[in-house]
Amino acid sequence: MCCNFCRIPIIDYHRHCANCSYDLCLSCSRDLREASVACINGVADSKIGRESEDKESVVEPLPRVKLNFSDKFPEWKANSDSSIPCPPKEYGGCGYSSLNLSRIFKMNWVAKLVKNVEEMVSGCRVYRDANMEKIMFNDPRHCQYAHREDGDANFLYCPTSEDIKSSGVGDFRKHWARGEPIIVNQVFDSSYSSSWDPMVIWRGIQETKDEKLKDENRMVKAIDCLDWSEIDIELGQFLEGYSEGRLRENGKQELLKLNDWPCPSAAEEFLLYQRPEFIGKLPLLEYIHSKWGLLNVAAKLPHYSLQNDVGPKIFTSYGTYDELSEGNSVTNLHFNIRDMVYLLVNTCEVKLKGQPTTKIEKMPQAFEESEEKDTEGDGKVGGDEGRSPDISLGEHSLEIENHANLDENRDVEMMDQGIDNTCSVGDAAIGEHSNQNGGDVSEKTRPGVFWDVFRREDVPKVSEYLRMHQEEFGLLDCESYDFVTRPLYDERFFLNVYHKQKLKEEFGVEPWSFEQHLGQAVFVPAGCPFQVRNLQSNVQLGLDFLSPESLGEAVKLAEEIRCLPNEHEAKLQVLEVGKISLYAASAAIKEVQKLVLDPKLGLELGFEDPNLTAAVSDNLEKMIKRRQITCA
């Protein structure tokens, strides 16, 4: 059930029209009242909390975002007694005099939840190990991927899958609660990679789907990274280009990304029936399993609840290690309302035959020369089509890139044909990186993906930087940006080397930058802006979840998404965070009661999913050993 005005799911109490069944959520009701009062008092409500231009380096925390009723809907106002009328017909209502207060849950159900939680928590204390509070930087499981002034924020937790299985989720939770991405190494060895070849996935999905769907799935949608247009392509042709590459009419390399294939339901069916043994290898199943994850609060919604498809997703895309002047295979800067994990399951080094190497091999050097000119000049770079991401290795220093370009230029004359997506300094640097992050160094594999992940607390400064420099990205006048985080929902920006340096110089903001190798899983917390560049053709297995540590951030993001235009893509992906919280609290109460109280208590709470409860109970014995909460 959604609000008719903002299209965001309604949790419980809301305003309802008895005449035309128009529903208005409480957040919109509050915004309408505030706009009406501001209009009566003549108070301008256009300030969005930005600092003045002479204080650009200091940005205040983001203000509470709200819908601007006074400008967009001047004829719709609250009544003098603070009641709210149904909106006029042009706004989708009927103009009825007053909306009634209605609810969805049973009376006092939420109040009983709150009372039960307060009684249980008041008798508990959380045990903390003081020795674990300080991060040990000499620990090989902590790797430096940034160079900020606050040194402890430069390291990321990079355990192996076996480390997590042996030590439990304690260390993971400590870093995860701080909003830090986590890299899990050695989730599987290279022998599994061939079973995730896109052609093998296609055959497996054909076996699990009905015969009538085979022909329909031959044509798929793909994104052309040159102009971000959606094209129709035969799946067989796309898969052939995955390993052999594709050329445009002008002779340059074509980079494509599959869009929504396979669908999440087909991907989940493929994983359950074709790769059942693989599920057990995934790290932190307590968090990431979409149905039985004990610490995945999104799994607490009952099976009959209508929710977005949160099954596994398979991302297949082309890539090239060489940085092109345009059309790089990237995922633009954005953040998610959910937590995400991306597991790199297959990579393919593409070698194109018959293409002159000098067209692209020399582009990184040409781009650096243009950067130097821009730095000396007005500081502007190309528009949307000129986004050039960072391809630095390990420490992501420009010095390494310069040496790489010199070595590449020496080797150009030795290559007769084709584009070899390798780098002269790659073997040494990649080998060093593998040793650093604890990966499998028995064979040196090239990285498949390059990541930049920003901290949550840097969102105001990153958003302000994008607003200030939008012209340099080809966005001349973004009047549609009603609040400052809007660019991070639109996914229209990619910060290349130049812009990342400029962001650090102007605002002191720097991301964690790292490479992802085959068999590594990258955990990204909700609300952390990130961007990705594909260094090879690759297949990523992605799963979204919502951890207890990220629940508060998800609530904040849901309120921001409410203020986006109704046709915005982010609104189609929004989670019912409020309802998830209630059901998660209900499930937690029941499990605590099973442990310390009479199991017969609390049956009046209702809303029980017997399958979920049974599965959670089966996992309790394992989880009890890891819990560090004692009850007085």
The dihedral sign for the CA sequence 169, 174, 179, 181: negative
Distance (Å, whole) CA 319 – CA 253? 10
Beta strands in 187-275 (DSSP E): 219-224, 229-234, 256-258
Percent of the chain's residues with pLDDT above 90: 30
Q: What is the pLDDT of residue 415?
A: 38
In a domain, 158, yes or no: no
The answer to whether 574 and 597 have CB atoms below 8 angstroms apart is no
Per-residue pLDDT, averaged over 185-199, amounts to: 87
Range with top average pLDDT, 290-299, 527-536, 589-598: 527-536
Is beta strand 313-317 parallel, antiparallel or unpaired with respect to 537-545?
A: antiparallel
Distance (Å, whole) CA 313 – CA 271? 10
SS3 194: helix
- Which tokens go with 584? 């998660």
Query: Looking at per-residue confidence, does 411 or 258 come out higher?
Result: 258
In a domain, 632, yes or no: no
Going by C-alpha positions, the residue among 196, 318, 333 that lies closest to residue 257 is 318
Domain count, the chain: 2
The dihedral sign for the CA sequence 526, 160, 286, 209: positive
Q: pLDDT (tens digit, 9 = 90+) per residue, 296-310?
A: 998 888 766 666 556
In a domain, 316, yes or no: yes
Percent of the chain's residues with pLDDT above 70: 68
Q: What is the pLDDT of residue 452?
A: 97
Q: What is the pLDDT of residue 327?
A: 78
Q: What is the pLDDT of residue 509?
A: 94
Same domain, 95 and 203: no
Residue 25 has pLDDT above 90, yes or no: yes
User: Of 557, 577, 597, which closes a domain?
Assistant: 577
Same domain, 202 and 346: yes
In a domain, 387, yes or no: no
Q: For residue 604, how many other CB atoms are within 10 A of its CB?
A: 9
Same domain, 206 and 93: no
Same domain, 93 and 186: no
- Of all helices (H) and strands (E), which one includes residue 593? helix 577-596
Distance (Å, whole) CA 340 – CA 544? 4
User: Got the DSSP string for 407-454?
Assistant: HHHHHHTT--SSEE---TTHHHHHHHHHHHTT---SS----SEEEEE-
Three-state SS annotation for 134-147? CCCCCCCCEEECCC
Query: Residue type for 618, please?
Result: D
In a domain, 410, yes or no: no
Window from 31-40, 145-154, 429-438, 621-630 with minimum mean pLDDT: 429-438
Per-residue pLDDT, averaged over 439-443, amounts to: 40
| Entry field: residues in the chain | 632
Going by C-alpha positions, the residue among 241, 496, 515 that lies closest to residue 388 is 496
- Which tokens go with 548? 């207890």
Residue 66 has pLDDT above 60, yes or no: yes
Per-residue confidence band for 251, with pLDDT thresholds at 50, 70 and 90: confident
The answer to whether 322 and 366 have CB atoms below 8 angstroms apart is no
Residue 288 has pLDDT above 50, yes or no: yes
Q: pLDDT (tens digit, 9 = 90+) per residue, 351-394?
A: 776 554 333 333 333 334 434 444 444 433 333 333 333 333 33
Distance (Å, whole) CA 161 – CA 341? 14
Same domain, 347 and 205: yes
Same domain, 80 and 193: no
Distance (Å, whole) CA 601 – CA 113? 13
Q: What is the pLDDT of residue 250?
A: 81
Window from 84-88, 188-192, 234-238 with minimum mean pLDDT: 188-192
Same domain, 346 and 461: yes
For residue 41, what are the contacts with CB-CB under 8 A and spacing of at least 6? Answer: none
User: Of 577, 601, 627, which closes a domain?
Assistant: 577
Same domain, 69 and 205: no
Q: What is the pLDDT of residue 600?
A: 54
In a domain, 148, yes or no: no
Query: Looking at per-residue confidence, does 441 or 507 come out higher?
Result: 507
Quickly tell me which residue has 């207890």 as its tokens: 548
Q: What is the CATH number of the domain that holds 272?
A: 2.60.120.650
Residue 344 has pLDDT above 50, yes or no: yes
Range of the domain at 85: 1-40+64-104
Quickly tell me which residue has 């009701």 as its tokens: 29
Same domain, 216 and 327: yes
User: Got the DSSP string for 273-334?
Assistant: HH-HHHHTTSS-HHHH-TTT-TT-GGGGS-TTS-----S-EEEEE---SSPPSS---EEEEE
Distance (Å, whole) CA 5 – CA 1? 12
Same domain, 198 and 330: yes
Q: What is the pLDDT of residue 305?
A: 67
Q: What DSSP character marks residue 484?
A: T
Going by C-alpha positions, the residue among 436, 363, 360 that lies closest to residue 396 is 436
Q: What is the pLDDT of residue 522?
A: 97
Q: What is the pLDDT of residue 39?
A: 63
- Which tokens go with 312? 């596994």
Residue 568 has pLDDT above 60, yes or no: yes
In a domain, 527, yes or no: yes
Q: What is the pLDDT of residue 616?
A: 42
- Which tokens go with 239? 């898969």
Query: Looking at per-residue confidence, does 604 or 582 come out higher?
Result: 582
Per-residue confidence band for 198, with pLDDT thresholds at 50, 70 and 90: very high
Query: Residue type for 91, please?
Result: Y
Q: What DSSP character marks residue 155?
A: E
User: Of 577, 602, 624, which closes a domain?
Assistant: 577
Same domain, 237 and 89: no
Q: pLDDT (tens digit, 9 = 90+) per residue, 404-435?
A: 443 343 333 333 333 333 332 233 333 334 43
Same domain, 98 and 186: no
The answer to whether 388 and 322 have CB atoms below 8 angstroms apart is no
Per-residue pLDDT, averaged over 97-122, amounts to: 88
Q: What is the pLDDT of residue 268?
A: 84
Q: What is the pLDDT of residue 324?
A: 76
Q: pLDDT (tens digit, 9 = 90+) per residue, 207-249?
A: 876 544 554 457 889 999 888 889 999 988 999 999 999 988 8
Q: What is the pLDDT of residue 316?
A: 94
- Mean pLDDT over the full length of the chain: 74
- Which tokens go with 116? 């039960």
Q: What is the pLDDT of residue 308?
A: 56
Is beta strand 521-524 parallel, antiparallel or unpaired with respect to 339-348?
A: antiparallel
Range with top average pLDDT, 60-64, 188-192, 219-223: 219-223
In a domain, 409, yes or no: no
Query: Looking at per-residue confidence, does 585 or 52 come out higher?
Result: 585
Residue 158 has pLDDT above 60, yes or no: yes
For residue 111, what are the contacts with CB-CB under 8 A and spacing of at least 6? Answer: none
The answer to whether 391 and 397 have CB atoms below 8 angstroms apart is no
